[in-house]
Structure 1
Amino acid sequence: VFNSESKMPSFAIFIYLSDPSLGRFDTTTVSQQTLMEHFIQGITNRETICVSADSPADITAWEHLELNADGEVVRVKFQSLGLHGSMSFQYLPSTTQFLSMGGNDLIGSLDLELAPDSIRNINLIYNSFSGSLDFTHLPAQLEELTIYKNSLSGSVDLTRLPPSLQRLNVHNNRFSGSVTLTELPERMLYLNLGSNRFSGRVDLTVLPSRMERLFLHHNGFSGKTDFAQLPDSLRMLNVEGTKLSGTITLPKGTLRVVTFEGSEVEVLRQDHDVGLVK
């Protein structure tokens, strides 16, 4: 039996869609309707999205999808819908640019390496995702990844992030181990590693030249740190609740905000009249 739309045997489509171990496949060979139905298949109350769990409505009638002029999925906006269950990223249509599913009760792993390279923004905050996350194979065009307040764990490799990535927020998970901050994307503006289980020393001497906010707070980072080469663009630095030490000198009139309570970091402010003051 052949599927007239995909020009592929229907049993072959079933194999592709039912076996995640096969990894990423060419989603352009399958209708977007079929892909989206399989994307939400693991959500137990999916009727919230597709009207009927047993007989899903056409995706043009899905209230929380945004389609382009060709009827292709561009934005998936399933945030705060009380969703339960899991999802599989390999089924996202290749036209998807924005995925927001925060504020639900979603579980399972985040296999973001299977998400389409077209996706630019992923927001999965306030869920119960667990397991490790491969940061070295994120979607090629990703600009923002926000996954705070989950139960993700394991190490975090920040040395091979997509060059396009500007904002990364992994706050309040269970990530651990050391982190390398010397090979971040040059476009990165915002990085939040706060409230995890990271440890070891941090090198802040070659941060991206445009970085504006860096949060390292409430981790096990330790050791004497060179703060003398922070980029001029940095407006907020939080090392509160770490074991980092060293001295940060703030020029007079600077707009930089440094939060350092509970650490061994000393902050001095430049005053033209009396020199350096605490």
Structure 2
Amino acid sequence: MSGQRELGNFLRTRRAQLRPEDVGLPDYGDRRRVPGLRREELALLAGLSSSYYTRLEQGQSMGPSPEVLDAIGRALHLDKAEQRHLHDLADRAKRRTVVHRPPAEHIDAATLDLLEAVGDVPALVSGRRGDILAWNRTGHALFASHLDPSGPANRGNRPNLVRLIFLDPRTRALYADWPSKARAVVENLRMTAGRHPDDTLLTSLVDELTTRSQEFAAMWADHRVSPCDSAVYEMHHPLVGSLTVRQHSLRPPQDEERHIVLAIAEPGSPSQAALRQLTRATVPSARQE
């Protein structure tokens, strides 16, 4: 999909989420043909002409300035992540995209050392598109115990977090509130797609999931964006039962492409006891002796 169309779709979906009362405009109770603000109302709030904003949404205007984008973002009440995504899409719309197949992702020694340093805390490292590049023993046991633990070492066929969430029944069953987890994954992937429109592997992943999962297709079409930084999830693990963990997504220094995902339970809670039980259950027999 062209950059202009992606930009227009994002603007339309965000405009549809706002009501007149949300932005201080009077609502006279008139019946609206579409939900949300009208184009002319949004243009007024952003200090733009209605015709210019209409052309922007319709993909007929190139190269809005950063100042114009900031004004539109304020009018749409975009948060920091959404504002960055808006600028990414606008930059994509005004430059020619050179499509290429990116090189295979790798994990450096420093990140592996960090993964080792967290000890028995469940942890994994994911790449740009959600491929699992590495995990520690308890990370594998918590997030994907039904998969081959050596999977991340297979560069041509690594487990992928997005595929697992939408296409793998066992991973789906891990989350009590699966829709919340699924939306977080899609919103983060949307941000990545805005930054890397030339990534053919990412485009293929989105095309595959859009075809194979109606739920993914619906969430993707909503154009919401948000980074996966930290969230609390109730999980139903087949070995240790129910537990509640906070999943933190950390970026290694000077690296926006990879994420270290940690699962931490509240100290002294039954969930922490469940994680300890999981750790004991997955200790190699040689260490148990």
Q: State the TM-score, normalizing by the size of structure 2.
A: 0.22
Give the helix-richer structure, 1 or 2.
2
Give the strand-richer structure, 1 or 2.
1
